[in-house]
């Protein structure tokens, strides 16, 4: 034994003696009699305490000095003693115990060096010990804390001490002590064969024993110490050597049994214990796993109870041992099927047994449990996946793959994956906690590297997409980042594979009814759609979109269960879903998304001309078939001429969707015309002429007896279509005979205008037939030199009074511009470009009248108008006579066209409004200009009346100027002029004039804007801004105190007029919206606006919304109040402002009366109404007037609920105290 050890033992004995002496000294003054304790005053007690403290400090300092001197004396250089034999050790080499300190170092290299140094010294000591004849002498001199019955009989004392020290060290939590001491134990046990395994197992239990009196951290240290010690034994390889020496060795069973017993004590030990067992299994031969590991004591019981308690580690151990041995064994219990096969493992019944085990694996979040990796390897084996056919995904979007034939292995994998996703992911993880949902996303990502494209639809199932929608629509949840990461990984996975990308797009959109990006507030689908760069990928997308459009099955076979997949804070997904579900088949919104997405997929393609034409042709056929035609016999029609089969959905699509198809068809033809380039026009090849292909396609389908147009046409429209078809056909033939020239461009541009006009006739019946006839005549006159038309009465000899051809053409196209779609206007622009050199002076003057080119800069500059069309180079605006006063035009911009700040002072101009220039800010629209505007309006109305029935270009222009959407623009301009301080302040007469026009000509007029031309987004924007204006407070500037009472009164009066204007405007806009008879889904934005304003009214003091105004809104438009009644009751019950809460009770009564009268059997609101009454009666206001209002409200509720059943349900919703209080107020209720 070393001098260091002896010195340390003597120092320890000295410290014990000093401690006893110090205790005896300090106990003497503390043991007086009771009477003496009572006689000592507090000051003397403090003095004695100070003296004791000084004595204790002195003794401690002396003890430290003595120990330091002894430590210095014992730490003499030992380099020369390393190889010497100490006379006190009977010939054994010296063992330096200081090496244990380095085993706990934080740096791995120091720990490794210390471990090897420890083993080297102990091997040298043991070798010398083995050569001794009289070992008893050595053991008797120095035992080094070793006991004779510890099982290490053949080991040197130093080795025995080191083993015990290493076992105790693995339980230390200091720095990296566990890692270092476990490493030292691994190397030592593997290098020194005299250390018996049974002795180690016994010492581990003895030295790391814990009792009930120990604290939690101490118990944890002991358990972790055992775990590290067992791990050291497994890594040392000694058990393999033991089995090699003795095939019937009991040590393997005992070792595994010890680990199983340890794992059963605490959950956090299970995974590591199983990891040690699996590491041992890897080192042992296969037969050892069956004969020794599986027969370990306690393992069978552990397996049997795993499914009930939810033990994923037991499942991992069973799967790994079964995979390694390949032998079935009933010891696995219910964890594995017997006999075992992957198909049996992934049956619905067996997965249901394992669901509890797998669900409990979320405890190791954010790390994914190892059992999932094992399951994924079994679920998607490498050898079978290499033979998967990627083209199989083409038909995977369909719900039932009737036509597919694959190998049995592929079918088994798809079936197993489907069962796994339905039972484990959808049935177990997604309906559970946030951790389980996060785990579900991680498990699905584990499948990606091996997932075949044909199986994507099983992974991105309905419930998974629903969960994604709910998670991503609520940004304040913990799962939001997990959902974003999930989508990023999927996007990266499909980045270079069009088949995968198509499958992901289809799954996301079908399960969200085409609203995935909208609901999740992301651009996932949009970015995936823009990644197609090849013809094959784009064709694949088109075919799958068409299949989705024609698919009549529901997006899911089961209704959405929001309680299973949604978080408490995410309600957007459920609201969005309720909007768009159709009665039968695919939701209407999804069909509309398919129609709009098909042309958009061409935006990012960079293909050659032929490839681009083939893609355009596929899209055109779909849009034409679905938008223009319907089948009278079944849903499939075969064209032998085109050698194609055309299909329609089983349930006919709506007329609105047909119109959307026609609009997208127009846009497709317009984009094709723009993107052709001069070489295509010059070549005249019909093969790449999309317009010519469309006309031939249209003629062919119209000739099929079982195919008809989607709507019946009037005689005039039918005649117009025939003329347009005939003229386009003749122009096309003539174009092909010409070479590259300006004349060829004229033919080409006119042909596309004829095609667009033909689609306009189908899109809007009885509006374009006359213009079509005029355009055909213009074509006859324009291309007369080409002998296109034989003389048929239409091409009569021009007389002296016949108008010029270009004048007629200009008038015709000008009459088309106001009512045509953007693609038609683009076609008109192309014709103007080709014929601009032939325009006469008269035609030019007509164009200038319409364009109204103003040479002076506008008083209010417009920026980025929403309705500005980049393609409309003519910049058409309203025409006015030159002697009429120009009206100030302030078009609606993208920003909120709110009123300027209503302030007292001259500088109150909002930055949101256009600013007046310095030159004419004071020369605004005066009374003369306003009366001039009235005169102009009267003149237009008179001209419209006198020219009724006339269809000249000028009358068409007048109709354009007075079309109903124009009223909205006039209203918007007048309203902005009224609220703009620079327009009306200081000119009360002008303000009163604008007010009179708004009241008499717009708000109180018998007629108001109606029909499909009124765009709902415009109405929605006007509604939101007017409600904001109605809630705007009266703001005073700091300088308002110095203003006169007259100015203050004037500003207040102006504020009241603006508020009244906002309320009247709201009533008028709601009347227009009500007249449109919009479906419930499109009214969601209206409900959202009122919901926000109601919330602000009840919770914010800033808003100045009037209760009477809201009451009038609900009275005039009861459908708004009915929809918001539940929200109003909830907000009123939790209102932050008591005076607003009391005011809002009038709104509750107003809506309640309407609901009871229109829906007498509806009782869905009674629970919330009872909750509101409970809140009011429990927290009665302090003011007597408000208490009276509460009692009045309760009385009105009882009066309105005349039905005894409703009244009984209402009373049942009240709390007992509130019910009693209410019956005391109204004795009639007691009956």
Q: Which of 219-233, 410-424, 824-838, 969-983 is the least confident region?
A: 969-983
Q: Which of 1187, 1177, 1190, 1097 is nearest to 1146 (CA)?
A: 1190
Q: Is the pLDDT of residue 970 over 90?
A: no
In the beta sheet, which residues pair with residue 893? Answer: 865
Q: Is the pLDDT of residue 34 over 70?
A: no
Q: Is 837 left (phi over 0), alpha (psi -120 to 50) or beta?
A: alpha
pLDDT tens, residue by residue, 177-202: 889 999 999 999 888 888 888 888 88
Query: What is the CA angle 866-869-871, rounded to 5?
Result: 165
pLDDT class for 492, splitting at 50, 70, 90? very high
What percent of the chain clears pLDDT 70, i.e. is strictly above it? 72
pLDDT tens, residue by residue, 763-774: 888 888 888 888
Which residue stretches of 427-580 are H helix? 434-447, 456-459, 462-473, 480-493, 498-510, 516-520, 524-529, 535-550, 562-565, 572-580
**Tokens found for residue 551:** 């698919």
As a whole number of angstroms, the distance between CA 260 and CA 282 comes to 18
**Are 871 and 826 spatial neighbours (Cβ–Cβ below 8 Å)?**
yes
**Are 452 and 393 spatial neighbours (Cβ–Cβ below 8 Å)?**
yes
Q: Which of 369, 103, 130, 99 is nearest to 232 (CA)?
A: 103
Residue 180 burial class via C-beta count within 10 angstroms: exposed 0-12, middle 13-18, buried 19 and up: buried
What is the per-residue burial (b if ≥16 Cβ within 10 Å, else e) of 624-659? bbbbbbbbeeeeebeeeeeeeebbbbeeebeeebbb
- pLDDT reported for residue 803: 61
Residue 72: in which H helix or E strand, if any?
helix 42-74
pLDDT top residue among 85 and 650: 650
pLDDT class for 445, splitting at 50, 70, 90? very high
Average pLDDT over all residues of the chain: 75
- pLDDT reported for residue 966: 67
**Could you please report the per-residue DSSP string of 405-446?**
---HHHHHHHHHHHHHIIIIIIIIITTS-HHHHHHHHHHHHH
Q: Which of 966, 974, 963, 992 is nearest to 897 (CA)?
A: 974
pLDDT top residue among 141 and 353: 353
pLDDT tens, residue by residue, 703-734: 888 888 888 888 888 899 999 999 998 888 88
Q: What are phi and psi of 16, to 5 degrees?
A: -65, -45
Q: Tokens 């309105």 — which residue?
A: 1200
**Are 939 and 876 spatial neighbours (Cβ–Cβ below 8 Å)?**
no
Query: What is the CA angle 446-451-454, rounded to 5?
Result: 145
- pLDDT reported for residue 604: 79
DSSP code at position 893: B
Residue 153: in which H helix or E strand, if any?
none
As a whole number of angstroms, the distance between CA 965 and CA 438 comes to 51
Residue 384 burial class via C-beta count within 10 angstroms: exposed 0-12, middle 13-18, buried 19 and up: middle
pLDDT top residue among 734 and 1222: 734
797: Cβ contacts below 8 Å, ≥ 6 apart: none
Q: Is the pLDDT of residue 435 over 80?
A: yes
In the beta sheet, which residues pair with residue 630? Answer: 708
**pTM for this prediction:** 0.60
- pLDDT reported for residue 876: 30
Q: Which of 986, 875, 968, 974 is nearest to 921 (CA)?
A: 986
Query: What is the CA angle 1213-1215-1219, rounded to 5?
Result: 90
Residue 954 burial class via C-beta count within 10 angstroms: exposed 0-12, middle 13-18, buried 19 and up: middle
- How many CB atoms within 10 Å of residue 400? 8
Q: Which of 987, 973, 995, 1001 is nearest to 926 (CA)?
A: 987
**Tokens found for residue 671:** 């984009």
pLDDT top residue among 792 and 1159: 1159
**Upstream peptide bond of 366 is cis (omega within 30 degrees of 0):** yes
Q: What are phi and psi of 636, to 5 degrees?
A: -130, 135
As a whole number of angstroms, the distance between CA 183 and CA 166 comes to 9
Do the strands 636-639 and 644-647 form a parallel or antiparallel pair, or are they unpaired?
antiparallel
- pLDDT reported for residue 848: 66
What percent of the chain clears pLDDT 90, i.e. is strictly above it? 13
Identify the top-confidence range among 136-150, 571-585, 699-713.
699-713
As a whole number of angstroms, the distance between CA 254 and CA 197 comes to 10
pLDDT class for 399, splitting at 50, 70, 90? very low
Q: Tokens 């042909």 — which residue?
A: 751
Average pLDDT over residues 992-1021: 79
Q: Which of 1201, 1178, 1202 is nearest to 1190 (CA)?
A: 1178
Q: Is the pLDDT of residue 537 over 60?
A: yes
CA atoms within 13 A on the CB side of 936: 19
Q: Is the pLDDT of residue 423 over 90?
A: yes
Residue 849 burial class via C-beta count within 10 angstroms: exposed 0-12, middle 13-18, buried 19 and up: middle
Q: Is the pLDDT of residue 284 over 70?
A: yes
- pLDDT reported for residue 149: 63
**Residue 671 CA to chain centroid, in angstroms?**
33
**Tokens found for residue 226:** 């055992």
**Tokens found for residue 14:** 């000295």
Q: Is the pLDDT of residue 623 over 90?
A: yes
Q: Which of 1218, 1144, 1151 is nearest to 1180 (CA)?
A: 1218
Q: What are phi and psi of 646, to 5 degrees?
A: -110, 140
**Tokens found for residue 917:** 């220039």
Q: Tokens 């395994």 — which residue?
A: 197
CA atoms within 13 A on the CB side of 808: 17
As a whole number of angstroms, the distance between CA 794 and CA 773 comes to 10
**Are 1110 and 1131 spatial neighbours (Cβ–Cβ below 8 Å)?**
no
- pLDDT reported for residue 556: 42
As a whole number of angstroms, the distance between CA 998 and CA 91 comes to 118
pLDDT tens, residue by residue, 325-357: 887 888 888 889 988 888 899 999 999 999 999
Q: Tokens 């090699």 — which residue?
A: 244
As a whole number of angstroms, the distance between CA 803 and CA 624 comes to 38
- pLDDT reported for residue 71: 44
- pLDDT reported for residue 217: 87
- pLDDT reported for residue 18: 52
Q: Tokens 């009267």 — which residue?
A: 938
pLDDT class for 578, splitting at 50, 70, 90? very low
Q: Is the dihedral of CA 1061, 1064, 1067, 1072 positive or negative?
A: negative
Q: Is the pLDDT of residue 1054 over 90?
A: no
Residue 155 burial class via C-beta count within 10 angstroms: exposed 0-12, middle 13-18, buried 19 and up: buried
Q: Which of 246-255, 310-319, 847-856 is the least confident region?
A: 847-856
As a whole number of angstroms, the distance between CA 1205 and CA 1211 comes to 10
**Residue 1090 CA to chain centroid, in angstroms?**
25
Average pLDDT over residues 1127-1154: 87
CA distances from 274 to 370, 450, 477, 706, 1168 (A): 10, 26, 35, 70, 54
Tell me the residue length of the chain: 1231
DSSP code at position 654: P
- How many CB atoms within 10 Å of residue 1206? 19
- How many CB atoms within 10 Å of residue 1114? 23
As a whole number of angstroms, the distance between CA 991 and CA 516 comes to 48
pLDDT class for 407, splitting at 50, 70, 90? low
- pLDDT reported for residue 907: 33
Q: Which of 115-129, 532-546, 1007-1021 is the least confident region?
A: 1007-1021
Q: Is the pLDDT of residue 856 over 50?
A: no
């Amino acid at each position: 034994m070393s001098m260091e050890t002896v010195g340390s033992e003597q120092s320890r004995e000295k410290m014990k003696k000093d401690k006893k002496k110090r205790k005896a000294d300090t106990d003497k003054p503390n043991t007086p009699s009771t009477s003496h304790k009572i006689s000592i005053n507090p000051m003397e007690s403090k003095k004695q305490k100070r003296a004791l403290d000084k004595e204790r400090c002195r003794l401690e300092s002396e003890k430290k000095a003595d120990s330091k001197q002894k430590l210095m004396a014992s730490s003499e250089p030992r380099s020369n003693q390393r190889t010497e034999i100490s006379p006190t050790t009977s010939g054994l080499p010296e063992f330096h115990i200081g090496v244990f300190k380095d085993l706990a170092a934080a740096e791995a290299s120091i720990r490794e060096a210390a471990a090897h140094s420890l083993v080297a010294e102990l091997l040298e000591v043991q070798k010398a010990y083995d050569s001794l004849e009289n070992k008893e002498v050595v053991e008797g001199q120095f035992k080094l804390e070793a006991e004779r019955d510890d099982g290490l009989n053949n080991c040197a004392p130093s080795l025995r001490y080191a083993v015990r020290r290493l076992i105790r060290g693995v339980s230390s939590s200091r720095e990296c002590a566990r890692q270092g001491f476990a490493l030292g134990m691994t190397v030592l046990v593997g290098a020194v064969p005299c250390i018996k395994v049974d002795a180690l197992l016994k010492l581990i239990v003895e030295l790391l024993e814990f009792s009930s009196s120990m604290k939690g951290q101490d118990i944890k240290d002991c358990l972790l110490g055992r775990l590290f010690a067992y791990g050291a034994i497994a890594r040392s390889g000694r058990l393999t050597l033991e089995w090699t020496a003795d095939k019937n060795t009991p040590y393997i069973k005992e070792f595994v049994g010890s680990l199983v017993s340890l794992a059963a004590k605490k959950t956090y030990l299970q995974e590591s214990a199983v990891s040690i067992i699996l590491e041992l299994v890897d080192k042992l031969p296969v037969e050892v796993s069956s004969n020794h590991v599986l027969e370990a004591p306690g393992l069978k019981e552990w397996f049997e109870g795993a499914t009930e308690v939810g033990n994923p580690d037991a499942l991992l151990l069973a799967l790994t041992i079964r995979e390694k041995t390949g032998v079935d064994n009933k010891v696995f219990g219910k964890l594995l099927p017997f006999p075992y096969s992957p198909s049996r493992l992934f049956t619905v019944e067996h997965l249901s047994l394992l669901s509890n085990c797998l669900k409990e694996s979320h405890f190791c979040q954010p790390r994914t449990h190892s059992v999932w990796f094992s399951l994924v390897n079994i679920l998607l084996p490498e050898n079978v996946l290499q033979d998967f056919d990627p083209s199989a995904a083409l038909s995977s979007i369909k719900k039932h793959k009737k036509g597919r034939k694959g190998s049995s292995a592929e079918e088994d994998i798809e079936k197993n994956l489907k069962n796994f996703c339905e039972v484990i992911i959808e049935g177990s993880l997604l309906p559970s906690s946030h951790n389980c949902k996060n785990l579900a996303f991680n498990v699905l990502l584990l499948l990606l590297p091996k997932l075949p494209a044909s199986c994507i639809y099983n992974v991105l199932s309905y419930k998974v997409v629903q969960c994604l929608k709910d998670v991503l629509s609520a940004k304040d949840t913990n799962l939001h980042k997990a959902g974003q990461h999930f989508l990023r990984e999927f996007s990266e996975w499909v980045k270079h594979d069009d088949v995968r990308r198509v499958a992901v797009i289809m799954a996301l959109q079908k399960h969200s009814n085409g609203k995935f990006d909208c609901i999740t507030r992301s651009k996932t689908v949009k970015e995936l759609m823009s990644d197609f760069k090849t013809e094959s990928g784009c064709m694949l997308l088109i075919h799958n979109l068409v299949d989705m459009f024609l698919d009549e099955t529901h997006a899911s076979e089961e209704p959405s269960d929001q309680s299973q997949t949604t978080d408490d804070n995410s309600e957007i997904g459920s609201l969005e879903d309720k909007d768009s579900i159709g009665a039968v088949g695919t939701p209407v919104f999804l069909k509309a998304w398919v129609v709009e997405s098909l042309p958009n997929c061409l935006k990012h393609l960079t293909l050659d001309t032929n490839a681009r034409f083939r893609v355009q042709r596929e899209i055109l056929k779909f849009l034409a078939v679905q938008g223009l035609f319907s089948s009278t016999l079944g849903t499939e029609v075969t064209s032998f001429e085109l050698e194609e089969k055309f299909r329609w959905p089983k349930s006919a699509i709506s007329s609105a969707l047909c119109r959307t198809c026609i609009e997208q068809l127009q846009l497709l033809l317009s984009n094709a015309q723009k993107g052709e380039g001069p070489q295509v026009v010059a070549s005249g090849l019909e093969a790449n002429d999309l317009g010519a292909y469309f006309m031939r396609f249209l003629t062919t389908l119209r000739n099929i007896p079982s195919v008809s147009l989607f709507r019946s046409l009037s005689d005039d429209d039918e005649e117009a279509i025939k003329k347009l078809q005939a003229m386009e056909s003749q122009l096309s033939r003539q174009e092909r005979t010409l070479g590259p020239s300006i004349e060829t461009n004229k033919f080409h541009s006119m042909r596309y205008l004829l095609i667009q006009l033909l689609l306009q006739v189908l899109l809007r019946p009885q509006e374009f037939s006359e213009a079509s006839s005029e355009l055909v005549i213009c074509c006859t006159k324009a291309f007369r030199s080409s002998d296109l038309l034989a003389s048929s009465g239409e091409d009569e000899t021009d007389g002296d009074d016949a108008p010029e051809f270009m004048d007629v053409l200009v008038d015709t196209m000008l009459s088309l511009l106001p009512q045509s779609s953007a693609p038609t206007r683009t076609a008109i622009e192309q014709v103007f470009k080709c014929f601009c050199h032939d325009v006469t002076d008269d035609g030019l003057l007509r164009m200038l009248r319409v364009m109204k080119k103003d040479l002076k800069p506008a008083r209010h500059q417009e920026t980025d108008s929403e309705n500005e069309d980049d393609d409309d180079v003519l910049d058409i605006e309203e025409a006015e006579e030159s002697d009429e006063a120009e009206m100030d035009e302030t078009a609606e911009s993208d920003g909120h066209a709110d009123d300027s700040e209503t302030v007292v002072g001259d500088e109150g101009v909002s930055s949101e409004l256009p600013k007046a220039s310095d030159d004419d800010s004071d020369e605004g629209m005066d009374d003369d200009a306003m009366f001039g505007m009235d005169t102009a309006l009267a003149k237009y109305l008179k001209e419209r009346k006198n020219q009724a029935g006339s269809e000249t270009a000028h009358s068409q222009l007048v109709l354009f100027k007075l079309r109903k959407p124009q009223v909205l623009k006039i209203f918007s301009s007048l309203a902005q002029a009224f609220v703009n301080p620079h327009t009306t302040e200081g000119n009360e007469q002008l303000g009163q004039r604008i007010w009179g026009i708004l009241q008499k000509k717009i708000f109180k007029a018998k007629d108001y804007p109606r029909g499909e031309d009124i765009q709902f987004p415009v109405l929605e924007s006007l509604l939101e801004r007017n409600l904001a204006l109605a809630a705007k407070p009266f703001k005073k500037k700091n300088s308002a105190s110095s203003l006169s009472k007259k100015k203050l009164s004037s500003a207040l009066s102006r504020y009241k007029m603006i508020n009244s204007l906002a309320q009247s405007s709201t009533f008028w806009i709601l009347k227009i919206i009500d007249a449109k008879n919009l479906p419930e889904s499109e009214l969601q934005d209206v409900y959202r606006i009122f919901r926000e304003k109601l919330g602000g009214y009840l919770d914010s003091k800033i808003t100045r919304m009037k209760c009477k105004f809201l009451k009038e809104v609900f009275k005039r438009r009861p459908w708004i109040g009915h929809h918001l009644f539940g929200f109003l009751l909830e907000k009123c019950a939790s209102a932050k402002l008591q005076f607003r809460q009391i005011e809002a009770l009038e709104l509750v009564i107003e809506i309640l009366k309407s609901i009871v009268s229109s829906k007498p059997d509806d009782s869905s609101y009674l629970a919330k109404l009872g909750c509101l009454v409970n809140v009011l009666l429990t927290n009665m206001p302090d003011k007597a007037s408000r208490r009276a209002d509460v009692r009045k409200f309760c009385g009105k509720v009882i009066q309105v609920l005349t039905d005894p059943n409703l009244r009984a349900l209402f009373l049942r919703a009240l709390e007992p105290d509130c019910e009693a209080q209410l019956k005391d107020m109204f004795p009639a209720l007691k009956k």
